[in-house]
Amino acid sequence: MDIIVCIKRVPETAEADIVLDAGKKGIDTDGMVFSINEWDNYAVEAAIQLKEAQGGKITVVSAGPEENNEVLRRALAMGADDAIRLTDPAFEGSDAIAMARILAAAIKDIPHDLILTGVQADDDGFGGTGVALAEMLGLPYAALVTDIQLDGDTLTVHRELEGGLEEVTAVKMPALLTIQTGINEPRYVSIMGIRKVAKKEIAEKSAGDLSLSGDDIGVKGSLSQIEGLFFPPVGEGAEIIEGTMDEKAETLVKILKERGGIA
């Protein structure tokens, strides 16, 4: 079974002090720690578990600068077989559609039974690349996948819906799945494991190698453009309760009673 996993390198924003860049269309990533997009880490683990059960080959693909080799090597250390980095100044400014076009151009010539992406990227969060990629490659897909069972050439997948509902869907391969966090427990990657793959070659492909023209990618090939980023103004209504723990609890109970939260 040949599996391709698309992985993105993203800045860790949860605990960071975010500062906008000069153009106010992105964030200043200087000094930020980067890692594999969380959803993609689960997707790599899902691919490895399928390979362990079925045999086959896993290729990881990432579009971005040389630093993306870190996340590609991490995936190789987890158990992927090959890694490809897609890199070209012409890719800059690509939205999810143009990014899907870049990924599709690279993937179409690699044998694949299954393509896995994350549901969304932790930073830009379009949540659109995976399904756009499926459409461009003419593949059936399932989004928000939380469980995968394989029977012959059919995947039975669970999809997470609103309100705690789960849907069970059968998808015939070749297919694309967008993987939700929590589907598995991604394996630990040791420094030793990463050292072992330090010399493994990572193939590189440019826009020219992929026969992509400037009209298909970057800002020109994108259907959306970022107009600006801003921090929402701090709203009224937040009240910091001061005092000792007992005083805080007493005040909180009083507020909840006054506002009908508790009887």
Decide: is 64 part of the binding site for ligand FAD (CB under 6 A): yes
C-alpha 51/C-alpha 213 separation (Å) is 35
* C-alpha distances out from residue 5 to 68, 95, 176, 223, 256, Å: 14, 19, 10, 24, 48
C-alpha distances in Å from residue 250, one per residue of 193, 246, 258: 53, 6, 12
120 makes contact with ligand FAD (CB under 6 A): yes
Q: Which stretch binds ligand FAD (CB under 6 A): 14-22, 120-128, 193-201, 207-215?
A: 120-128
Check binding of 101 to ligand FAD (CB under 6 A): no
Span near ligand FAD by CB under 6 A; candidates 73-81, 147-155, 189-197, 222-230: 222-230
Q: Residue number with the shortest CB distance to ligand FAD?
A: 118
The reply to whether 40 sits near ligand FAD by the rule CB under 6 A is: yes
Q: Per rule CB under 6 A, is residue 121 in the interface with ligand FAD? A: yes
Within 10 A of 75 (CB to CB), how many other CB atoms are there? 29
The answer to whether 95 contacts ligand FAD (rule: CB under 6 A) is yes
**Exactly one of 29, 49, 126, 147 binds ligand FAD (CB under 6 A); which one?**
126
The reply on whether position 59 binds ligand FAD by CB under 6 A is: no
Question: How far is CA 196 from each of CA 77, 165, 253, rounded to the nearest angstrom?
Answer: 7, 42, 57
Of residues 149, 143, 137, the one with CA closest to residue 179: 143
